[in-house]
Amino acid sequence: MAPEDIKAKIESANATAVQRVLASKPHLVDVKPAIEVLPGMNKRSIFHAGPPIKWGSMCGPMKGAVVANIIFEGWASSWDGAVKLVEEGEVELSPNHDHEAVGPMAGVISPSLPVVVVKNEKFGNVNYGRVVEQKVQFGAFDEEAIQSLQFWKKVLAPALAKALGRLRSSGSIGIDLKSIMARALYMGDELHNRPSAGTALFALSILPSLIESGEDKERLSQIVKYFSGNEIFFLCLAMAACKATMNAAKDVEYSTLVTVMARNGVDFGIKVSGLGNQWFTGPAGMVKGLYFPGYGTQDANPDMGDSAITETTGVGAFALANSPAILSLVGGTAQDAFNYTKQMREITTTLNDTFLVPILDFEGTATGIDIRKVVKTGILPVIDTAIAHKDPGIGMIGAGIVNPPMEAFKSALRAFASKYKV
Amino acid sequence: MAPEDIKAKIESANATAVQRVLASKPHLVDVKPAIEVLPGMNKRSIFHAGPPIKWGSMCGPMKGAVVANIIFEGWASSWDGAVKLVEEGEVELSPNHDHEAVGPMAGVISPSLPVVVVKNEKFGNVNYGRVVEQKVQFGAFDEEAIQSLQFWKKVLAPALAKALGRLRSSGSIGIDLKSIMARALYMGDELHNRPSAGTALFALSILPSLIESGEDKERLSQIVKYFSGNEIFFLCLAMAACKATMNAAKDVEYSTLVTVMARNGVDFGIKVSGLGNQWFTGPAGMVKGLYFPGYGTQDANPDMGDSAITETTGVGAFALANSPAILSLVGGTAQDAFNYTKQMREITTTLNDTFLVPILDFEGTATGIDIRKVVKTGILPVIDTAIAHKDPGIGMIGAGIVNPPMEAFKSALRAFASKYKV
């Protein structure tokens, strides 16, 4: 094929892929134990964030999170017991993204952990998200950490499932997450590190059904207080909504659009629409940001989590100009936030038609990362993220800004050239 | 006194007054029928927005609102009956601000209408606010308009009163409105035309107590849906909180700080800390903004409402840079929003230490309008506001930006010079 023909074919494929991104309509439809819904999960599976990685190569906080979930499942009761089980090959480790799912930070999902079920009402694909909490996902595995998973499993998830069941039985297609996300972007959220408005709007959306489903008043009051006190909650819904959005843009032949960016704390991996399920990786970067008192860069684990699916979809740090309040958490100035949001236009395919930036006179966020543009301009996607301590059992120590490794984009582009004989 | 001495005295008085503004801690403590709490209200009183005005001089929408409240109270059942009652002198009309209260747009408060009770926990003063709705306050007086007052009186107000009673009995000092306002300013609100985040945060704050107070589930669900569907709700709480804040800065001898800006749809009035309860007025301006389809400037009533108490306190249009999303309602560009927020520093006393502007790298909003600076610079305070149709019975037709008349500030400054022999 002549170079101009191949270029036209790529442009057309990217237009198709990004149009599917824009047209997606992710709705929260259910909350179910992972084992019941995640494709390929068996009763001794543990899925994790980022590209594939063996136990021996995992970073400290991801090991801690795997151990926490083993204790949560009751397969072992201590670090040593859990590690023994894994080392004996009794636990199957596999990336969330290879099973239609996403999880924050370590992102670890075990069979009995309930996941949010998000259906893309436009294209029919269904994807799954792990709850966000402040302990296990950062590598803590003590009693208190396990309790945060128990609250989700025993209190919040069943209540949400009941409320969503009530909505379904009244003919509803669930909670419209895209609408909440669009509104939250007008309310100071960038939907990755700051989903505060999303949490409040989601709470008010689900509460009538939760109330009508007959939840008792102590439980109801506890749940409302949970939403008030855990502003990060909506991140798991935003992530699952973004996953359901980007999966609709998968497998468009000739498309150079990035459909996944994810990190396991050691490697950063991407997937590309026209390149099937293959991961292209490079080393996960160190996050530049602000640390909690008593911690510093020497304590930090490299970049980790599936949460960069938000940036892949055009929110997160791509919408940082909407969320200047987050700068007190991740560092930087308001001007930096503008600059990031504008600079991302140079490596993307279009401006979003739903996710808008009022302070940029209502222009859309940059959407649809194109591996060609990243390699050509040398501009890397920007991601805002939390920082985990590098050792298991400690937790979150800060937050900041990070980039993927250029290597992942270059090797994807080489694979593209080889597959399509460019 | 020598000019430099008087200047020092004024500066010191303004520092005292604005320090009281910054130190104020308004809490929502109760919701009660106006007649039970408003000083000077008798059983045939109707209080209204802005400076004093006689029935014959009132604008169309304020007349409509007075008639609506007369019908709501059952004193008459029609426009003609209500007008007859007023013209026979059977109804006492008086400004909200002269009775420790504020109300949006026409702002009309009648005896049985419940008002929110806000206590300034720092200084002890108690102030009152009228509920925000989309009908009566814009001059509608039909069945549907009256119903919106009935919902407040019969459903929402009693439920809130019960929840607040429960909080009081558990030793709480009520709902901390300043904290909600500060958080809402990080979430795209300017707290005058856009209090959306405030409404969501307030709803989540009061709901646990509302649930625990044993409200039945149909009622609870209805109330949650009301908060979701009426994002403007929090304006009444923001206004009452601002009134309780500014009243703490009243009556500081030698202070040139503005403590009230309010409009009755005909006149714009201000009060000044060092000048007691006297109103200084000029003609209310026409609002420049965006109209709903089918309406234009020829239909608009001049500026109306006590809601400019928000700008008086350093929020509303003074915080417009926090709320670019509101520009789709009031018109203008993001740059205008920055400009207004910065320009107000030239006529104010300090930057707020609690109400911050993240996009201006977390600097505070301009707080404490000084009549001297307004007159000297020729810069008028900026106010963002809704627009009512000039005829009674129609309602809201748009929103935009307006300024007070310079005349009010000049006559206040003259009175100041005369009182203090400057």
Residue in A224, A324, A325 closest to B211 by CB? A224
Strand (E) or helix (H) holding B240: helix B234-247
**pLDDT score recorded for residue B4:** 87
* pLDDT of A285 higher than 90: yes
Q: How far is B130 from chain A (nearest CA, A)?
A: 24
**pLDDT score recorded for residue A1:** 78
Chain A CA closest to residue B329: A358
Under 8 Å between Cβ of B256 and B370: yes
- Enumerate the residues of chain A whose CB falls inside 8 A of the CB of residue B333: 361
Report percent pLDDT > 90 for chain A.
96
pTM above 0.90, yes or no: yes
**Burial per residue of B317-328, b for 16 or more beta-carbon CB atoms within 10 angstroms, e otherwise:** bbbbbbbbbbbe
**pLDDT score recorded for residue A2:** 85
Q: How far is B326 from chain A (nearest CA, A)?
A: 9
- CB-based burial label for A172 (10 Å; 0-12, 13-18, 19+): middle
Q: Write the secondary structure of A135-189 as one string of H (helix), E (strand) and C (coil).
A: CHHHCCCCHHHHHHHHHHHHHHHHHHHHHHHHHHHCCCCCEEHHHHHHHHHCCCC
Select from A179, A187, A333 the residue whose CB has the most chain B CBs within 10 Å, as the one to mutate to test that interface: A187
Contact B362 A201 (CB under 8 A): no
Which of these ranges, A174-188, A308-322, B321-335, has the smallest mean pLDDT? B321-335
**pLDDT score recorded for residue B2:** 85
Which CATH architecture is the domain B250-419 placed in?
Alpha-Beta Complex (3.90)
Under 8 Å between Cβ of A352 and A331: no
Q: How far is A228 from chain B (nearest CA, A)?
A: 6
**pLDDT score recorded for residue B1:** 78
* pLDDT of B329 higher than 90: no
Please give the mean pLDDT across all residues of chain A.
97
**pLDDT score recorded for residue A186:** 97
Q: ipTM of the assembly?
A: 0.95
Residue in B189, B196, B224 closest to A208 by CB? B224
Contact B211 A227 (CB under 8 A): no
Q: How far is B212 from chain A (nearest CA, A)?
A: 6
Contact A212 B212 (CB under 8 A): no
Closest CA to A100 of A267, A310, A245, A214: A245
* pLDDT of B80 higher than 90: yes
- Enumerate the residues of chain A whose CB falls inside 8 A of the CB of residue B217: 211-212, 214
* pLDDT of B397 higher than 90: yes
Once rounded to an integer, what is the mean pLDDT over residues B106-126?
Answer: 98
Contact B207 A208 (CB under 8 A): no
Once rounded to an integer, what is the mean pLDDT over residues A287-308?
Answer: 96
Contact B196 A187 (CB under 8 A): yes
- Enumerate the residues of chain A whose CB falls inside 8 A of the CB of residue B228: 204-205, 208
* pLDDT of A328 higher than 90: no
Domain spanning A248-419 has what CATH number?
3.90.1700.10
Closest CA to B301 of B287, B316, B282: B287
Q: How far is A212 from chain B (nearest CA, A)?
A: 6
Q: How far is B348 from chain A (nearest CA, A)?
A: 24
Euclidean distance between the first and the last CA atom of chain A, given in angstroms as a whole number: 8
- Enumerate the residues of chain B whose CB falls inside 8 A of the CB of residue A359: 324, 334, 337, 359
Once rounded to an integer, what is the mean pLDDT over residues A34-51?
Answer: 98
**pLDDT score recorded for residue A422:** 86
Once rounded to an integer, what is the mean pLDDT over residues A313-334?
Answer: 93
* pLDDT of B328 higher than 90: no
Q: What is the C-alpha separation between B142 and A43, in angstroms, rounded? A: 64
Contact A227 B212 (CB under 8 A): no
**pLDDT score recorded for residue A319:** 98
Interface contacts A/B by beta carbons within 8 Å: 99
Once rounded to an integer, what is the mean pLDDT over residues A124-152?
Answer: 96
- Enumerate the residues of chain B whose CB falls inside 8 A of the CB of residue A225: 208
Chain A CA closest to residue B335: A359
Domain spanning B25-239 has what CATH number?
3.90.1710.10
Task: Tokens 């909200």: give the residue.
Answer: B96
Q: Which residues contact B377 (CB under 8 A, 6 or more apart)?
A: B346, B347
Q: How far is A313 from chain B (nearest CA, A)?
A: 22
- Enumerate the residues of chain B whose CB falls inside 8 A of the CB of residue A187: 187-189, 196-197, 325
**pLDDT score recorded for residue B16:** 98
- Residue-by-residue DSSP string for A65-92: HHHHHHHHHTS-SSHHHHHHHHHTT-SE
Q: What is the C-alpha separation between A188 and B57, in angstroms, rounded? A: 43
Residue in A186, A187, A211 closest to B220 by CB? A211
**pLDDT score recorded for residue A3:** 83
**pLDDT score recorded for residue B136:** 95
Antiparallel, parallel or unpaired: β A258-264 and A304-305: antiparallel
* pLDDT of B229 higher than 90: yes
Contact B324 A225 (CB under 8 A): no
Please give the mean pLDDT across all residues of chain B.
97
Closest CA to A156 of A105, A99, A229: A229
Q: What is the C-alpha separation between A396 and A386, in angstroms, rounded? A: 7
Once rounded to an integer, what is the mean pLDDT over residues A230-250?
Answer: 98
Once rounded to an integer, what is the mean pLDDT over residues B36-64?
Answer: 98
Query: If phi over 0 gives left and psi between -120 and 50 gives alpha, with beta otherwise, what is residue B386?
Result: beta
- Enumerate the residues of chain A whose CB falls inside 8 A of the CB of residue B204: 200, 203-204, 224, 227-228
Q: What is the pLDDT of residues A387-396, one digit of tens each?
A: 999 999 999 9
Chain B CA closest to residue A329: B358
- Would you kindly state where each structural domain of chain B is located, as residue ranges? 25-239, 250-419
Select from B170, B210, B217 the residue whose CB has the most chain A CBs within 10 Å, as the one to mutate to test that interface: B217
Q: What is the C-alpha separation between B329 and A212, in angstroms, rounded? A: 34
**pLDDT score recorded for residue B422:** 86
Q: How far is B402 from chain A (nearest CA, A)?
A: 21
Residue in A325, A358, A362 closest to B358 by CB? A325
Contact residues, chain A to chain B, C-beta under 8 Å: 186-189, 196-197, 200-201, 203-205, 207-208, 211-212, 214, 217-218, 220-221, 224-225, 227-228, 324-325, 327-328, 333-334, 337, 358-362
Contact B221 A212 (CB under 8 A): yes
**pLDDT score recorded for residue A145:** 96
Q: Which residues contact B34 (CB under 8 A, 6 or more apart)?
A: B41, B47, B101, B109, B110, B111, B112, B113, B114, B115, B128
Q: How far is A159 from chain B (nearest CA, A)?
A: 15
- Enumerate the residues of chain B whose CB falls inside 8 A of the CB of residue A218: 212
Q: How far is B222 from chain A (nearest CA, A)?
A: 8
Structure tokens that stand for A15 in this block: 């237009």
C-alpha torsion sign, points B195, B201, B205, B206? positive
